[in-house]
Amino acid sequence: MKLMNRTITATVLSALFVLGASSAQAEEDRKQFSLAWSIYVGFMPWAYMDESGIMDKWADKYDIEVDLVKVNDYIEAINLYTAGEFDGATMTNMDMLTIPSASGVDTTALITGDFSDGNDAVVLKGRDSMEDIKGMDVYLLELSVSHYALARALEMAGLSERDINVVNTSDADIATAFTTDDVQAATLWNPQLQTAMQEPDAVKVFDSTQIPGEILDIMGVNSETLKKYPELGKAVTGAWFEAMSVMHGDSEQAIAAKTYMGDASGTDLDGFELQLAATHMFETPQEKLDFLTTKRVRETMDFVTKFSFKHGLLGAGAQSPDAIGIELPDGSIWGNEDNVKMRFDHQFVKMAAEGKL
């Protein structure tokens, strides 16, 4: 009986070895990848890349498949990526730092497509100065980029969060809440911002034009996956900048692309154009390289890490704002060199700029 057991065990172990080898081979030969996106003006090109076939064309060039998957909830998309359900997801630089990177998932900003240039704002009713916010209840999605924008606005006005009371409100409810008499102050982003500004006494007292380049919209991709499969980085970068070349301008193709993106995001062409006007899109690879220099990224992330640490968003073990190491565009590391979990790697954008994709 013992011999039989040993034989069975050996057979099972042999089968497991073969299965493991097959799994490793399958991973080595991996051809299919998935990226999650959610609705926001800066993320809608992902919908267009999928619909138009641009993503498929570039994926075919590198003999891979890239599925672009819409996830209705922004934070859920990032959480699913962090849990390993996707190879990447759309997110802001702050959320990249505080969700996947703070959770130990090394993430690279493969595509930094734009920065908020008016899409995020502090809005008051019947008051026209940021200083008027003192003592008010301010409705916003707590610990989001709206919260960050408010903190920066308060700082620039000589105030602090101690001078106001934050009322946590979901992004799905905040525009409706602002139409009620109870809500006199809110911080929100488009398209909810557009809705709020339709209130007759609504006044923007601060917006993201005053902090250019601080709220970045990113396709964050798992760094290990990107390193192992550079063809993913090449295909996605090539597809992104082709979409940029199509959508900018007034050609029939550009209008059709923006009309599609507007419809897909719940507005129309005019509404989408208004949101684009408050978004600085990087139209070319070189424009991105020129803007997102090491110095600028370092300055931006200095603000973001300090805010995140103050609000306990860097993890329970974080002892300082630089607890998470950040790789800057020139390859240098800012912060904890033993815990690099966030990267601004421009290698694929440089290839695009040089026509090498």
What CA–CA distance (Å, rounded) separates 274 from 258?
A: 11
pLDDT given for residue 172 in this prediction: 82
Say if residue 276 is in the same domain as residue 225. Answer: yes
Say if residue 238 is in the same domain as residue 111. Answer: yes
Closest by alpha carbon to 167, among 135, 140, 132, 134?
A: 140
Say if residue 326 is in the same domain as residue 240. Answer: yes
Say if residue 109 is in the same domain as residue 138. Answer: no
The DSSP symbol for 97 reads: I
Task: Identify the residue whose tokens are 């090491």.
Answer: 294
Q: Please report which helix (H) or strand (E) contains residue 140, including its range.
A: strand 137-140
Domain, as residue range, for 12: 1-29
pLDDT in tens, the chain (357 residues): 323 332 223 333 334 334 443 344 445 678 999 999 999 999 999 999 999 999 999 999 999 999 999 999 888 999 999 999 999 999 999 999 999 999 999 999 999 999 999 999 999 999 999 999 999 999 999 999 999 999 999 999 999 999 999 999 988 899 999 999 999 999 998 888 989 999 999 999 999 999 999 999 999 999 999 999 999 999 999 999 999 999 998 899 999 999 999 999 999 999 999 999 999 999 999 999 999 999 999 999 999 999 999 999 998 889 999 999 999 999 999 999 999 999 999 999 999 999 999
pLDDT given for residue 28 in this prediction: 65
The CATH code of the domain that includes 75 is 3.40.190.10
Say if residue 202 is in the same domain as residue 72. Answer: no
Report the domain count for the chain. Answer: 3
Whole-prediction pTM value?
A: 0.87
Q: Among 154, 184, 210, which residue terminates a domain?
A: 210
Tokens of 34: 């998935």
What secondary structure does DSSP assign to 259-283, as a single string?
HHHHHHTTS-HHHHHHHHHTEEE--
Say if residue 232 is in the same domain as residue 99. Answer: yes
pLDDT given for residue 2 in this prediction: 28
What are the φ and ψ backbone dihedral angles of 77, each rounded to 5 degrees? -60, -45
pLDDT given for residue 27 in this prediction: 55
Say if residue 233 is in the same domain as residue 335. Answer: yes
